[in-house]
Amino acid sequence: MLRIEFRIDLAGVLSRLFTVDERIESAEIDNALPVAGDSVFLFLSAQFGSSISDERLSEQLPDIRIVDITQADVAQHTYYLRVLADVSDASVLSLLTENLAIPHRIVGKDATLDIVASVRDWNHLKEVASSIEAEHGSLELIGTTQTEGMGFPLGSNKIKHSMSGKLSEEQLEVLETAYQMGYFKVPQEVTAEEIASELDISRSTLSARLRRVEHNFCALLFGPQE
């Protein structure tokens, strides 16, 4: 398998979100379900610059039916949206699946869509790229990585999705930095002091944030189910 990351111009339902008056910093397609006819049910995560309301967003997006908006528990101004839209509003996702590529991440930010997917090999990559370029114009290939397996398809990483609204931005930053630097490997590749220095925080602050992350993970796995 070949893991690919590429970039195209902002398009579809995510581009519509970036036209609203409320400033939006990023938006991601978490999952999609086909509906009868030419409609698709999309699950989105969006980071706005301020609070939003269902009514205000619906007024500015009249051709997209917003079924539900839920604010994340911790991350400020992050919202989960469930919308009913035309299948063309998720065309890049459709093109990936039609060409038997496995989509992992589709994120809109700074006038572009950043997409991570898996393909079989280089020939398959050319087929997928050609199909997307025919629909969306030029495609910028950012990187490729040889992998043993396909990884999580879009919408299947349940723990990540469940935790996304239960950790603060600071806790997510600590967790990702610790993981990337090798703190959780056996043996450890980095000390807590080195992580704290990288984040420019104290050792005690790092320890407190990591403990809160561990508590939230345990609460998700062993606490009462909603």
162 located within any domain: no
Q: Is the pLDDT at 205 greater than 80, yes or no?
A: yes
151 located within any domain: no
Residue 124 and residue 197 in one domain: no
Give the strands of the sheet with 102-109, arranged side by side: 65-71, 78-86, 39-48, 24-35, 102-109, 112-119, 2-9, 140-146
Residue 98 and residue 9 in one domain: yes
Residue 215 and residue 138 in one domain: no
When divided into structural domains, the chain yields a total of: 2
**pTM for this entry:** 0.69
Report helix, strand or coil for 223.
coil
Positive or negative: CA dihedral 93, 97, 100, 104:
positive
The domain of 187 spans 167-222
153 located within any domain: no
Residue 118 and residue 180 in one domain: no
Residue 109 and residue 38 in one domain: yes
Are 25 and 48 a contacting pair, CB within 8 Å? yes
Across all residues in the chain, what is the average pLDDT? 84
pLDDT digits (tens, 9 = 90+) for 84-116: 888 888 889 989 999 999 999 899 988 899 999
